[in-house]
Structure 1
Amino acid sequence: FLYTEVIGNPSGAVADLAALADVASAHDLPLVVDSTFATPYLCRPMEHGADIVVHSATKFIGGHGTSIGGVVVDSGGFDWGSGRFPRMTEPSAGYNDLRFWENFGEYAFCTMLRAEQLRDVGASLSPFNAFMLLQGLETLPQRMDEHVANAHKVARFLEGHPGVSWVAYAGLESSPYHDLAQRYLPDGPGAIFTFGVAGGRAAGAKFIEGLTMVSHLANVGDARTLVIHPATTTHQQLSDEDMVAGGVTPDMVRLSVGLEDVDDICWDLDQALLGAGS
C-alpha cells in the first residue's frame, strides 16, 4: 500500500494526490488516502487516482464528538490479481478455500475486510452510534461550509497576532500548500490547523490554561472549537529534538475550529495569547 492523508495531521500539509497515484500505479500498489480532515464534502480522492479512501467518522462526519466509528470506501478499480497480494488470490481456509479476487472481483477487498478483518478484530458499530453518524452526514455540507469560513477568519486573525510566531493553514496565501489546496480542496482546506505560540513550550502550556471557551481536548472535527498543545500532552515524553524530528515543535498548538460565533473564538484565543505572553 501507498498511504497518505489529504491534509496531514498535525502538519497541515496537503498531499499531491495525482502525483502519488502515478507513483502507486507505477509500482502496482493501491493508493490509500485518509480523507478524515478533508471530509467527503471537501475532497473526493478517487477522482484524483485513489483506490481506497478511509475516514474516521468520529470527526467531522459525526460532527459532535458523540460516537466512534470509521469508514472504508473501495473504488473497485484496483487489480488485486497481480500475484503480489496472496490474501486476495490464495484460498481462504476459513471460508472453504474461497478466493476473494476470483469470486468477488471488484468487491474483493471490501468483502475480505468484512469476512476476515472484522471477524478477527471484533469491531462492531453499535446501532445508536450508526444512527448518530448518519444524522451527522445529513448536515455535513452545511457544517463544513461554516467550519471552513470560521477557520479562514481565525487563521487570518492568528497570522496577524503578536503572540503567534507562525500559522500553518493551507487556506492562507502564505502557506506552501496553498496551490495544492486550491487544486484538491477548492471549497476550503478544512478547519484544523496548527500555529506557534511565541515563547515556546512554557507559553504554549500557559496559553492552553488561559482559554475559557475553547475546549482542551484531543479530538478534532467537533461543533465545538478544540485545542491541544502536543509538547505538554501527547508528545511530552520526547525531547525538543525528537519532537521536531517527528514534525512537532515545542510551540505548536493544534486548533480544530468549531461552529461558535467566530468573534467569540477569536476573543478567547486573543485573551489566552495575551496571558501567555505576560
Structure 2
Amino acid sequence: MAALEGGVAACAVSSGSAAVAMTIMALAGAGDNFVSSIHVHGGSSHQFSGLAKQMGIECRFVKSRGPNDFAAAINDKTKFVWVETISNPSNMILDFEALSLVCHAKGVPLICDNTFGCAGYFCRPIDHGVDIVVHSATKWIGGHGTTVGGIIVDGGTFNWGIHGERFPQFHDPQTKLWERFTRRAFAIRCQFEVLRDTGSTLSAPSAQQLLIGLESLAVRCERHAQNTAEVANWLREQPLVAWVSYVGHPDHPDHQGALRYLQRGFGSVICFGLRGGFEGCARFCEALKMVIIAAKYVTPFSCVFTIVICFDSLGDAKTLVLHPASTSHEHISPEDRAEIGVTDDMIRLSVGIEHISDIKADFTQAFEQILEPGEIRQVEDRKIQLQKEINSRLFSPSAHL
C-alpha cells in the first residue's frame, strides 16, 4: 500500500474506523484540536464529534472549500487538517495543493481519506501535497465484501523535526522517533505505540483477503469506472431522476478538480435524487432485486430498523445503494444535512462490475415501483414512441446514404 500510494511506510489495522481513530490518537491529545472539512463520511463525522470529544480533542469543522477558511480555523493547538479525496456522499473535490500550502505554512500535516481513490488507482493525494493517507481497506482494496481492514500510509513528507514544540511525541527522549526514523516517524508511531495500545490489529485471514483483493484492483477499477460513467449518463435520461451528481460530468462543479487530481477515470460512486423524495427512495430501494441495499431505515412500509443487513460494502464488485439521510448521516441534524447536500431524495450509488445491462434492468423495474399505474402507462408509451423514432431513423432511406 505504501508503494501504491507513493508513501514511505504504512500501518495495516483492523478497520477504516480504526485507521481514523489511531491517526487522531497518534497526533492529538486532550486539549488539542484538529480541523476537518464538514464534507466527510458520516462515520468519520461521528468519530470527530463524538469519540474525539470524549478524548478531550476538539474537531473544528469547516463548511466552505476555501483554503483561507481552513487557515482561519488553525491555531497553536491544531494538530492536523482532514479532508477526503471525493467527499462522501456530497462528491466534492477540494484543492489539495492549495490546502497543502496553507497547512505547511501553519506547521500542520494535511491528511486525506483516500478510500474513494481506490488505493491510488484513481488518485494519489501524496503526489499533490498530502502528508498522510488513510483507507477503509474493506472497500475497493478488498473489493468483495469478505473482510474488514484499514490502512494508514505515511507519505514521509512532513518535517516533524522542525515542529517539535507542536509534536513532542516524536522527540520523546526514550523513543526518539524523529531522530531514529526521520521520514518514517509517523508510521512507526502508529505501528509500535498506538497500534500496540489500542489492539486494533489486522487479523492474518483479513490480511490475506486484502492482498488477494489487490491482485485484481486495476481490472476491477477499470470496469467500475466504465460502468459508473454509463450509469451516470443513463440516469440523466430517466424521468424519475431529478438530478445526478457525478464528477465525470463536465457540468459538475468540481469537474475541473477531478481532471486535475484524478487519473484513469472518475471513481465509481455517484449520487442521484428521486422525484418521489424520501418515500420514493424507500420504494425504490425496497424494489431492487439484484442491487444490494447497504442499510435499511424506518419507512412507512417497514418498521424494521437495521443498521447493517449485509456484509457487502461500498466499493464491492457488487452494485450497492444507500439512503444517506436515514443511515450514514442520520445522526446529523436536518439543517446540517441540508448544508452538506445530504437531502431526503438522495441515493448514493456504488457501481459494481456486473454487466451494465443487468444494472440498468434492475433500476428500471425498481423505478416502475415508484410510479402510479397511470404514470407507468405514460412511461411505457414514451418507450414505445422512442423505439419508433429510433426505428424510423435506422430504416429510413437516408440512414443508408
Distance 1:182 1:189 in 2: 8
Q: Structure 1, residues 208-244: CA drift from partner, whole Å, max 9, x if none?
A: 0111110001520000000111233344566643431
- How far, CA to CA, are the matches of 1:238 and 1:88 in structure 2? 35
Aligned 8 A contact 1:193 1:254 in 2: yes
Deviation (angstroms), 1:90: 2.8
1:229 match:
323
Deviations 1:239-270 (A, max 9, x none): 64343135310001110000111111011112
- What is the alpha-carbon root mean square deviation over aligned residues? 1.5
SS of residue paired to 1:133: helix
Greater RCO, 1 or 2 (C-alpha within 8 Å, sep 6+): 1
Tell me by how many angstroms 1:178 deviates: 0.9
Report what 2:274 is aligned to: 197
Which residue of the partner structure matches residue 89 of structure 1? 171
| Whole-angstrom distance in 2 between the partners of 1:240 and 1:42 | 32
Aligned residue for 1:4, secondary structure, equals strand
Q: Secondary structure at the match of 2:153?
A: strand
Tell me how far apart the structure 2 counterparts of residues 236 and 24 of structure 1 sit (CA, whole Å): 31
Which residue of 1 is the match for residue 104 of structure 2? 25
Confirm or deny that 1:59 pairs with 2:136.
no
State the SS of the aligned residue for 1:42.
coil
Counterpart contact for 2:121–2:263, Cα < 8 Å: no
Where structure 2 has 5 or more consecutive residues not aligned to the other structure, the ranges are 1-79, 296-312, 373-401
Aligned to 2:216, which of 129, 132, 139?
139
User: Is the contact between residue 147 and residue 257 of structure 1 (CA under 8 Å) also seen in structure 2?
Assistant: yes
User: 2:202 corresponds to which letter in structure 1?
Assistant: L
Shift of 1:20: 1.4
Please tell me whether Structure 1 or Structure 2 has the larger radius of gyration of its CA atoms. 2
Q: Give deviations 1:185-206, integer Å, cap 9, x for gaps.
A: 1311210121111121111111
Q: Is the 8 A contact 2:96 2:125 kept in 1?
A: yes
Distance 1:226 1:4 in 2: 24
8 Å CA contact retained: 1:243, 1:250 = no
Q: Where in structure 2 are the equivalents of 1:155-174 lying within 5 Å? A: 155-174=232-251
Percent of aligned pairs sharing the same letter: 47
CA contact (8 A) 2:139 2:145 kept: yes
1:21-43 Cα offsets, whole Å, 9 max, x none, are 11112111111111101111111
User: What is the aligned partner in structure 1 of residue 254 from structure 2?
Assistant: 177
Long gaps (5+) in structure 1:
92-96
* 1:250 aligned onto 2:344: yes
Count, aligned residues: 273
TM-score scaled to structure 1, two decimals? Answer: 0.94
Quote the offset at 1:103 in angstroms: 2.1
